[in-house]
């Protein structure tokens, strides 16, 4: 079928772009010519930290890319036709979104709605869909509550937006990037804390009269923010540990404080396997109808040949004021 550009992780912190044969598709799969892909925080944990690594080096081409958008060029799947433009969300272990052509199972892509928006906007539906999925799996009535969101990458920003939309009275957010915190204000954050210079604990104490927030979302995945999360929540409050762990080793926690506060916590994973992909479809609807404006997130786009540079920038985004880093295949 010809050749394609394909990325490969050859070591922790090192990716290359190579030319390989376009692979054949199996029954139940489609072959998609990629238009764009985005780098997820979970990709950075794998590529830049070696956490959750599923393969020996050199890894399969395209791994661990799982946020993609493109056009079907060959279909062996019922209901998916050549020529359709689709959002792709494969499981990272078999993800090929960082390849010019990707093979995707029929359950891991959905057709794009009619929209005049750029493809880059619709691509953000993958990340937004994972947050919608988490909120559906672990519903909480936050109407009138005070909420904190630790981390304002794309996932944290979508949490901020959806929690405000669901009726949170006050949202306190934290991040290391002023650029991300600026977008947080647009998405509904009431109080923004740069954790490099200010204490989230002190700010939460001021906002809540020392009681702590009713509900907290940890959208970072670092051991230190995981441990710290219990400090900011009131008695009988709730926590969503959403950030993918950045290490494979066990993380110690402040269980004594967790226990004494009678806290409730949850985590979730695996939005890709949701029946009917309804959360991703809802995310596409929110973006395509303009109910959420994702344009502030689209800060940096790299050609596929510069995948390594893109990963390093996404891993250390603060100096460049980066929010969501994507790659294109034009």
For 98-149, how does the pLDDT look when each residue is reduced to its tens digit (9 = 90+)?
999 999 999 999 999 999 999 999 999 999 999 999 999 999 999 999 999 9
Q: What is the dihedral of CA 297, 302, 308, 314, to 10 degrees?
A: -10
Domain boundary, last residue among 243, 267, 291? 267
Domain count, the chain: 2
The pLDDT assigned to 131 comes to 98
Domain span holding position 298: 3-127+277-328
The pLDDT assigned to 319 comes to 82
- Same domain for 254 and 213: yes
Cβ atoms of residues 302 and 310 within 8 Å:
yes
Domain boundary, last residue among 231, 249, 267? 267
- Dig out the tokens for 274 from the structure: 């949701």
Per cent of the chain over pLDDT 90 is 98
Q: What is the pTM of this model?
A: 0.97
Q: Give the residue ranges of the chain where pLDDT is below 70.
A: 1
- Same domain for 249 and 151: yes
The pLDDT assigned to 318 comes to 83
Strand ordering across the sheet containing 233-241 = 191-194, 170-175, 146-150, 213-218, 233-241, 264-267
- Same domain for 14 and 118: yes
Evaluate whether residue 299 is within a structural domain. yes
Evaluate whether residue 133 is within a structural domain. no
Q: For 231-247, what is each residue's pLDDT tens digit?
A: 999 999 999 999 999 99
Evaluate whether residue 272 is within a structural domain. no
- Same domain for 315 and 296: yes
The pLDDT assigned to 217 comes to 98
Closest CA to 65 of 48, 85, 45, 40: 40
Rounded distance, CA 89 to CA 109, Å? 6
Show the CA angle centred on residue 283, arms to residues 28 and 161, nearest 5°. Answer: 150
- SS3 assignment, position 112: coil
Show the CA angle centred on residue 226, arms to residues 219 and 213, nearest 5°. Answer: 75
List CB contacts of 184: < 8 A, sequence separation 6 or more.
152, 156, 157, 160, 173, 175, 192
Cβ atoms of residues 280 and 111 within 8 Å:
no
Evaluate whether residue 134 is within a structural domain. no
**Residue 288 preceded by cis peptide, ω within 30:** no
- Same domain for 221 and 105: no
The pLDDT assigned to 287 comes to 98
Evaluate whether residue 238 is within a structural domain. yes
- Dig out the tokens for 227 from the structure: 């441990």
Evaluate whether residue 132 is within a structural domain. no
């Amino acid at each position: 079928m010809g050749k394609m550009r394909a990325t490969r992780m050859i070591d922790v912190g090192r990716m290359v772009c190579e030319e390989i044969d376009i692979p054949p598709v199996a029954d139940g799969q489609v072959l998609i010519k990629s238009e764009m892909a985005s780098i997820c925080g979970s990709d950075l944990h794998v590529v830049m930290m070696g956490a959750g690594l599923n393969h020996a080096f050199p890894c399969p081409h395209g791994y661990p890319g799982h946020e993609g958008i493109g056009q079907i060029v060959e279909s062996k799947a019922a209901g998916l036709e050549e020529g359709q433009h689709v959002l792709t969300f494969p499981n990272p272990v078999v993800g090929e979104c960082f390849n010019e052509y990707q093979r995707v199972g029929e359950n891991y892509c959905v057709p794009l709605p009619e929209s005049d928006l750029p493809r880059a906007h619709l691509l953000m539906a993958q990340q937004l869909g994972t947050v919608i999925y988490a909120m559906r799996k672990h519903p909480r009535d936050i109407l009138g509550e005070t909420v904190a969101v630790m981390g304002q990458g794309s996932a944290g920003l979508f949490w901020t937006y959806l929690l405000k939309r669901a009726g949170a009275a006050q949202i306190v957010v934290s991040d290391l990037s002023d650029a991300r915190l600026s977008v947080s204000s647009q998405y509904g954050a009431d109080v923004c804390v740069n954790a490099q210079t200010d204490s989230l604990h002190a700010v939460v104490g001021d906002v809540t009269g020392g009681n702590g927030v009713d509900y907290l979302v940890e959208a970072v995945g670092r051991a230190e923010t995981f441990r710290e999360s219990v400090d900011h929540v009131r008695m009988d409050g709730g926590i969503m540990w959403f950030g993918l762990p950045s290490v494979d080793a066990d993380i110690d926690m402040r269980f004594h404080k967790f226990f004494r506060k009678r806290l409730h916590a949850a985590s979730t994973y695996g939005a890709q396997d949701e029946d009917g992909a309804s959360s991703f479809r809802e995310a596409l609807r929110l973006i395509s109808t303009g109910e959420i404006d994702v344009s502030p997130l689209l800060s940096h786009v790299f050609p596929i040949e510069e995948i390594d540079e893109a990963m390093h920038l996404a891993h250390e985004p603060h100096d460049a004021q980066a929010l969501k880093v994507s790659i294109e295949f034009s």
